[in-house]
Amino acid sequence: MSTGIALAGPADTDRVLDLMMRYHTDANLTYDDAHRAAVACPLLDGSPLGAIWLIGPKSSPLGYVMVTFGWSMPFGGMVGWLAECYIRPSVRGRGIGTEVLHAVAVNLGRAGMQAMHAILPTGQEDAAAKFCTRAGFRAVPGVRMMTDPL
């Protein structure tokens, strides 16, 4: 792999939160700083419920990937949810995201993950679907996700 990834930890909090703010601004997502910190900090502190990887050099990352973990009867064990993947606009279109998602999926598969799911953001379905397809995701026939916000 030509683009390096590194598991982000507490020392990377400022870089991760800055990249998240950029992504949320670019995607017109209305999350505020408090929400971003509440979501990211437990993962950066080592929560077993997910992980964040920085893409490229840690001192000046090109982006990040956030995957959360769950358990699935149909898939027979641990599954991941691609929560977010952000690549700086200046380096998009070079295959970095596809390469990184593939590397993350391969490594999580070696660790026992059975499948990784992606949620496609409303308004970005076509671009997100093309990106995920290039990275190896495919639609699951007969499956439609629904959510009960608690």
Per-residue model confidence as pLDDT tens digits over 94-124: 989 889 998 999 899 999 999 999 877 666 6
Averaged pLDDT for residues 140-148: 75
Element housing 72 (H / E): strand 63-72
Q: Which two tokens stand for residue 144?
A: 């439609």
Domain boundaries of the chain, sorted by first residue: 5-134
Does the structure show a pLDDT above 70 at 19? yes
The arrangement of secondary structure in 5-134, i.e. its CATH architecture, is 3-Layer(aba) Sandwich (3.40)
Answer with the residue of higher pLDDT: 21 or 143.
21
Tens of pLDDT, residue by residue over 74-100, are 889 999 999 999 999 999 989 898 899
d(CA 134, CA 137): 7
This prediction's pTM: 0.88
Does the structure show a pLDDT above 90 at 11? yes
CB atoms within 10 A of CB 16: 24
